[in-house]
Amino acid sequence: MKLLVRVIEARNIPAMDPNGFSDPYVKLSLGKQKFKSKVVKKCLNPSWCEEFAFKVDDLKEELIISVLDEDKYFNDDFVGQIKFPVSQVFDANDKSLGTAWYTLQPKQKKGKNKDCGQILLTISFSQGNTLADLQSVGDHVSLSKKLSDVVSESPLSSNGPLRSSSPLRSEEAASSKEEKPHAQTFAGRIAQIFNKNGDAVSTTNSKAPDVTVPPETASTAASENAQEEQSTSGNFQELLKSIEAREQPSEVPNLSGVVVDQLYAIAPHELNLFLFSPDSAFFKSLVDIQGSTELRVGPWKLENGGESLKRVVSFIKAASRLIKALKTTEEQTYLKADGKSFSLLCIVSTPDAPYGSTFKVEVLYSITPGPELPSGEQSSRLVVSWRMNFLQSTMMKGMIENGARQGIKESFDQYANLLSQNVKPVDAKDLGSEKEQILASIEVEHQSDWKLAFQYFANFTIISTFFIGLYVFVHVLLAMPSTIQGLEFVGLDLPDSIGELIVCGVLVLQGKRVLELISRFMRARVQKGSDHGIKAQGDGWLLTVALIEGNNLAAVDTSGFSDPYVVFTCNGKTRTSSIKFQKSSPKWNEIFEFDAMDDPPSVLDVEVFDFDGPFSEATSLGHAEINFVKTNISDLSDVMVPLQGKLAQACQSKLHLRVFLNNTKGSNVVKDYLSKMEKEVGKKIKVRSPQTNSAFQKLFGLPPEEFLINDFACHLKRKMPLQGRLFLSARIIGFHSDLFGHKTNFFLLWEDIEDIQVESPTLASMGSPNVIMTLKPGRGFDARHGAKTQDEEGRLKFHFHSFVSFNVAHRTFMALWKARALSPEQKVQIVEAEAEAKNLQMAEEDSIGSDFQAADDDSEGKSLQSEEGGSFVGMEDINMSIVYSSVLSVPVSISSALKLSLSYLSLYTYNIYFRRFNLFV
């Protein structure tokens, strides 16, 4: 018999990692049989939707289902488990426990009160069992019950058991004789139990009972299945609408291997129907082109109570250079379908392939809305990514991944070509006019100053102050001059009582408040935010930001509103929007352009402030960060950015932005940047090929405009040194290692690095200098698994050593870091400090002796120039240390002069070797 266990999902899994998440997976065991599900990264409510089959030899065995948290560097953390006796499943109705939520239990009894979460499971026996499956079942369940249960089942039924038309008759079983000791047939054993005193059963009578289904029943079942497939095919859109009405998952798994990333001139829902509708012939055409046969496309069905839409597709995959023809099964499940975006996960099984039972291939089809085309039509972005999910560990993991990578690449090249023949692809370069169209459609909200002043000053403070001032003015006109008394004199009229003093104080405070309001209004009107019609100057990276509106901004004034304005900062340059008075959801419709930058920007900082006058510190209403390295530029053409901060998160504040980043230099930007780096590093830097840049971008998930500058082999120092490679680009420094299939991959922004230091060689660093990169507080936490330490202020420190050419690597680090991270003022200070150090060095050289020092400088400079070449801003030159200095008179005799020359020569030689020794140490 086969026990089927379907692991669907889990909820409320406790956080086991420091980042507040877990990487859960499920481990199942029955006797010596063990299986493992895929790992869901950074999730507390994971979804697996995987099915496992166990062969049951004894009903006394116990099924153990455990949930664990994957840890790359330590033992996996235990989350919780649940146990099921196999007999409990067998004794249940229809031999199935159904689909139900089960509470996970801790491993130790002391932790019973610990909340371990819940898991959704479906546990049942296979409905296709035969009499042969009962051969090794335990004795504690009566075989008569097993026999009647199994005979009453039909292997042709998938919805439930059907009664057999030819059941076993009791008189046939009673007439059987007792089995002889040498009889080994299964029917003989059954007869032995039912007839203890009978004769032995002949081997010719050991056939299984007839369990065939009558033709009427079979035809009825076939017609029902046909009707089901037909109705499912016709109602595919209705099924999609049914899952659209349900709550969509907030996160879709991110698969690293991207094989297709293309824009198409078609709406997202139409592209989804074209690819996955039962009526579409695209998949059949693809199978024909690839040479596959025996295609069987199952109907779309709602499962898990209507929460997921799923179908199964099977075919015989054509033979390739790597493997022979084999049967392939694809289980396609919709993870997301909200009418605008669609995500479909396809789990591909090839059990007939070499080691096919140890892995499954996961392919994710993601369809998202693209930018609007110049013609006004909608576009869609299709991203197809994949990954290998190993169910069992194997030594052939690396070979399997390489073979799958090559096969998937060839398969989806044909997929993209066929799709391009049926749906028009859109080139990103053709969308250049989209920016102008969008910006031209944005109209600034013009409002007269008088109307704005009326709205701003129409409040209780201004109105009450006006009436009080009018009252005082009328009082002055009607009142008679009072006599001089007390300490008063002509021109000075002081209050004559405590009441008058209080009234005067109130009037002064009220007048001060009105003057502040007038000052705020005048200052705000002077601050003009939009630069419509002003084009950025220069050639390079041009950044344009369109600020559309804000939603649910926090109110800090007593009126329940705020006076918000937005500040954009990029590469040390800022742009400030206009101030909107008394608005919680203001509309700006303003455009800001940054002057062309030589270096591609990494981050755009956005912060919203509440204007509180020219003399008061503005209150932050929220901030956000747009990372150009981690985000595709096309996705920023129309985006809602959630704001961070206590006030913003409490109100769920958002900003509606449209961001455009392009390069006006074209292909020359790479050459210009590399030529500038060559002057700083002092070594020729080669331009990498497009294939190398593409591989670099895919390795770290970078946008297409990122280009590789240089790479170095080194060790990452943690508890144990890890051999890998550093990749340097204009915006990031990335580390990658693949040691026996265990991958380490992360990158840092140059702007996030606060300091770069060099430690002297030690035994722990294998005799190589150690480069320590310290990040700014709170930065780079995505790469914290590569950090060696973290200080009390929250700054991560990364250690790298064992460079083949340390000087070249260090010079490149410093050049790229200082070009990105240091402000112009800091660069000027470094240059001035270097000039002073150089002047001081020249003075010391003159005091030692110009001739010998010049010769030494010439030889040392040549050696350094031949090794590294060039100059570098920020690198201190090696100063010659004075070992010995004295003043001697010049002798007249030749022998004395010769001795003096030899003594100077020996002193010079000793000085050279002493400097070499200090440099090595």
pLDDT, tens digit, 9 for 90 and up, residues 516-558: 777 777 766 666 665 554 566 667 788 888 888 898 898 877 6
The region of weakest confidence among 214-218, 366-370, 665-669 is 214-218
At 180, the pLDDT band (50, 70, 90 cuts) reads very low
What was the pLDDT predicted at 767?
Answer: 77
Chain centroid, CA 669 distance in Å? 28
What was the pLDDT predicted at 725?
Answer: 93
pLDDT, tens digit, 9 for 90 and up, residues 468-498: 888 888 988 888 888 888 888 887 888 888 9
Please report whether residue 172 resides in a domain.
no
The tokens for 470 are 């009018």
Last residue of a domain, one of 98, 126, 154: 126
Question: Which of 197 and 53 is assigned the larger pLDDT?
Answer: 53
Please report whether residue 296 resides in a domain.
yes
SS3 901: helix
What was the pLDDT predicted at 660?
Answer: 86
- Claim to verify: residue 299 and residue 375 sit in the same structural domain: yes
CA distance linking residue 127 with residue 154, whole number of Å: 8
What was the pLDDT predicted at 721?
Answer: 87
- Claim to verify: residue 474 and residue 619 sit in the same structural domain: no
- Claim to verify: residue 534 and residue 500 sit in the same structural domain: no
Please report whether residue 546 resides in a domain.
yes
What was the pLDDT predicted at 534?
Answer: 54
pLDDT, tens digit, 9 for 90 and up, residues 98-122: 888 999 988 776 554 478 889 999 9
At 919, the pLDDT band (50, 70, 90 cuts) reads very low
Please report whether residue 221 resides in a domain.
no
Residue 713 has pLDDT above 90, yes or no: yes
CA distance linking residue 69 with residue 38, whole number of Å: 11
Q: What is the 3-state secondary structure (H, E, C) of 711-743?
A: EEEEEEECCCCEEEEEEEECCEEEEEEEECCEE
SS3 850: helix
Residue 832 has pLDDT above 70, yes or no: no
Mean pLDDT of the chain: 74
**pTM above 0.75?**
no
At 735, the pLDDT band (50, 70, 90 cuts) reads very high
- Claim to verify: residue 627 and residue 692 sit in the same structural domain: no
Question: Which of 592 and 165 is assigned the larger pLDDT?
Answer: 592
Question: Which of 704 and 213 is assigned the larger pLDDT?
Answer: 704
- Claim to verify: residue 326 and residue 468 sit in the same structural domain: no
At 712, the pLDDT band (50, 70, 90 cuts) reads very high
- Claim to verify: residue 553 and residue 539 sit in the same structural domain: yes
What was the pLDDT predicted at 211?
Answer: 37
Percent of the chain residues past pLDDT 90, beyond the cut? 14
Residue 343 sits in a domain of what CATH number?
A: 3.30.530.20
Instruction: Count up the domains in the chain and report the number.
Output: 5
Residue 807 sits in a domain of what CATH number?
A: 2.30.29.30
- Claim to verify: residue 515 and residue 531 sit in the same structural domain: no
Please report whether residue 874 resides in a domain.
no
- Claim to verify: residue 543 and residue 455 sit in the same structural domain: no
CA distance linking residue 274 with residue 799, whole number of Å: 51
Residue 346 has pLDDT above 90, yes or no: yes
The dihedral through the CA atoms of 445, 448, 449, 451 has a sign that is: negative
Residue 207 has pLDDT above 60, yes or no: no
Whether the CB-CB separation of 82 and 27 falls below 8 Å is answered with: no
Question: Which of 347 and 762 is assigned the larger pLDDT?
Answer: 347
CA distance linking residue 16 with residue 68, whole number of Å: 10
What was the pLDDT predicted at 60?
Answer: 83
> What burial letters (b/e) apply to 312-339, b meaning 16+ CB within 10 Å?
ebebbbeebeebeebebebbbbbbbbbe
The tokens for 901 are 């020359």
The tokens for 475 are 């009082």
- Claim to verify: residue 517 and residue 534 sit in the same structural domain: no
| Average pLDDT of the residues in 817-836 | 63
Cα→Cα distances 625→178, 546, 573, 641, 776, Å = 83, 15, 15, 9, 16
Which residues are CB-neighbours of 517 under 8 A, at least 6 positions away?
456, 457, 461, 462
CA distance linking residue 57 with residue 137, whole number of Å: 6
pLDDT, tens digit, 9 for 90 and up, residues 413-453: 889 999 998 888 887 555 545 566 566 656 555 556 676 67
CA distance linking residue 271 with residue 664, whole number of Å: 33
Q: Computed over its alpha carbons, how large is the radius of gyration of the chain?
A: 39
Question: Which of 880 and 557 is assigned the larger pLDDT?
Answer: 557
- Claim to verify: residue 691 and residue 788 sit in the same structural domain: yes
Last residue of a domain, one of 829, 845, 873: 829
Last residue of a domain, one of 610, 638, 663: 663
Residue 621 belongs to domain spanning: 527-663
Please report whether residue 117 resides in a domain.
yes
Strands (E), 689-808: 708-717, 722-729, 732-739, 742-749, 753-759, 770-775, 789-790, 796-801
- Please classify residue 531 by burial: count the beta carbons closer than 10 Å to its beta carbon, then call 0-12 exposed, 13-18 middle and 19+ buried: middle
Please report whether residue 851 resides in a domain.
no
Whether the CB-CB separation of 8 and 122 falls below 8 Å is answered with: yes
- Claim to verify: residue 420 and residue 455 sit in the same structural domain: no
Residue 167 has pLDDT above 70, yes or no: no
- Residue 98: Cβ within 10 Å count: 11
CA distance linking residue 149 with residue 209, whole number of Å: 13
Residue 52 has pLDDT above 70, yes or no: yes
The region of weakest confidence among 13-17, 229-233, 656-660 is 229-233
Please report whether residue 695 resides in a domain.
yes
- Claim to verify: residue 717 and residue 771 sit in the same structural domain: yes
What was the pLDDT predicted at 348?
Answer: 92
- Residue 776: Cβ within 10 Å count: 17
Residue 129 has pLDDT above 80, yes or no: no
Residue 45 sits in a domain of what CATH number?
A: 2.60.40.150
